[in-house]
Amino acid sequence: MKDFTIEYFTMTEQDAVDYARTSIDFFQTDAELSCKEIGDGNLNYVFKVVDGKNNKSVIIKQAGPVARISDDFKLSTDRNRIESEILGVQNKLAPGFVPKVYHYDSIMNCCVMEDLSDHEIMRTALLKHKKFPLFADHITSFLVNTLLCTSDVVLEHKEKKALVKQFINPELCEITEDLVYTEPFYDCPRNEVFEGSKEFVKDHIWNDKKLVLESAKLKFEFMTNAQSLLHGDLHTGSIFIKKDSTKVIDPEFAFYGPAGYDIGNIMANLIFAYANGKFTIDDEKTRNDYLNYLVTTIRDVINLFTDKFNNAWDDKATERVASYEGFKEYYLEAILRDTAAVTGLELLRRIIGLAKVKDITSIQNPESRTRAEKICLTVGKELILNRESIKSGPDYINAIHGAERTSVKEA
């Protein structure tokens, strides 16, 4: 058995079994352990260690020495510390919405956490057109509790500054700065634009100077606005879900940024699911039924967030100036404006940039995919340019339906 206490190495499945047996106090002595590496992300190894005899299991997540997404991104393993620590913070603020962490190991850069194999990745489930009627309620509780309660509205300011310091996250933020805020807005060699969308992207994104200027403003917002402790990568691939439970995972991008960033990621990825459903479900009734579910969810995420945010503010704000007449409304408007902008940015970058979503790439018919992409690009652009006036659930629905009408006319 290798020694886990001296220096870092990337584990094999056998190492993970040994590690689980010796380094944590979780399995019984008679455990019959087996392990499978189940990682499908880009940055980490994920070992599922199962005790077949007593029906217990854990996940060991180890940061690889180099990010898997591409050799361009070399990432320090500090992200694993960040992930373990943020899971602790989130578990306190939003109990039940993140996996429990049993152990963090700063030598092996791994953390041992609750196995959520009875859940499935939300993106995968949505690709099967499954519905989760409790999702909007769950995710808005998570969002309000983690975003508002880590802000200066609620948190004592010296405590907040200590968290800002703890979660300075230069390397992971750089990925976002490049992939979300920079590369999609010019003809960057690393972009991967689908053939059918090339002209549209060139004419309506890269050549739109007003849009490109807005992307620069938003990039600086992202880099400087230390408002809330974000998850930082809250797409539907970072959510484990089943009918009655929603668990937010993979928070290694966590840092203090604009609260709207997390909400906008949720919104955009629901819109991708909508685009997928629209072009891949043949049966009209099934399709309408599914799209209605998504429209309701898209609307509810904004509306429930707004309601819960207002209530939580009234209950939990500790900052004196938070009670000044008009300040809550001003503050919430800024979050909703940022949410609209980030929804737009995420919609654009997943179509134009390096990191794709399966919701779109799995649309087999090239014409359908092109139409789906143009709808996402049109909504994205609209949300960025008109972010000041996108404030409610229905505003998003209108943007989506407007883009659908344009796409029908063009087709």
In the complex, which residues of this chain contact a second copy (CB under 8 A)?
152, 157-158, 160-162, 164-165, 168-171, 173-174, 177, 181-182, 185, 209, 212-213, 215-217, 219-220, 223-227, 320-322, 324-327, 330-331
Q: Find the helix packing angle between 393-410 and 284-316, rounded to 10°.
A: 150
Q: Which is nearer to a second copy, 152 or 233 (CB)?
A: 152
CB of 382 to a second copy, least distance (A): 20
CB of 230 to a second copy, least distance (A): 13
- Pairwise CA distance, residues 12 & 23, whole Å: 15
Contact yes or no for 342/260 (Cβ under 8 A): yes
CB of 170 to a second copy, least distance (A): 4
Q: Which is nearer to a second copy, 324 or 398 (CB)?
A: 324
Q: Which two tokens stand for residue 302?
A: 């904004």
- Pairwise CA distance, residues 214 & 209, whole Å: 9
Q: Which is nearer to a second copy, 23 or 76 (CB)?
A: 76
Torsions phi, psi for 157 (to 5 deg) = -65, -30
CB of 93 to a second copy, least distance (A): 19
Q: Which is nearer to a second copy, 210 or 285 (CB)?
A: 210
Contacts of residue 218, defined as CB under 8 A and 6 or more positions apart, other chains included, come to 181, 341, 342, 345, 384
Q: Which is nearer to a second copy, 253 or 272 (CB)?
A: 253
CB-count burial class (<10 Å; 0-12, 13-18, 19+) for 256: buried
Q: Find the helix packing angle between 260-280 and 366-385, rounded to 10°.
A: 150
Q: Which is nearer to a second copy, 55 or 224 (CB)?
A: 224
Q: Which is nearer to a second copy, 320 or 409 (CB)?
A: 320
Place of tokens 């970058």: 349
CB of 54 to a second copy, least distance (A): 44
CB of 96 to a second copy, least distance (A): 29
- Pairwise CA distance, residues 186 & 39, whole Å: 32
Residue type for position 252: E
CB of 366 to a second copy, least distance (A): 32
Q: Which is nearer to a second copy, 176 or 407 (CB)?
A: 176
CB of 201 to a second copy, least distance (A): 17
CB of 158 to a second copy, least distance (A): 4
Contacts of residue 389, defined as CB under 8 A and 6 or more positions apart, other chains included, come to 395
Q: How many Cα atoms within 13 Å fall on the side-chain side of residue 259?
A: 25
Residue 96 C-alpha from the chain's centroid: 18
Contacts of residue 26, defined as CB under 8 A and 6 or more positions apart, other chains included, come to 20, 56, 58, 102, 112
Q: Which two tokens stand for residue 2?
A: 């290798």
The answer for 67, left when phi > 0, alpha when psi is -120 to 50, beta otherwise, is beta
Q: Which two tokens stand for residue 409?
A: 């006319």
Q: Which is nearer to a second copy, 329 or 410 (CB)?
A: 329
Q: Which is nearer to a second copy, 28 or 186 (CB)?
A: 186
CB of 227 to a second copy, least distance (A): 5
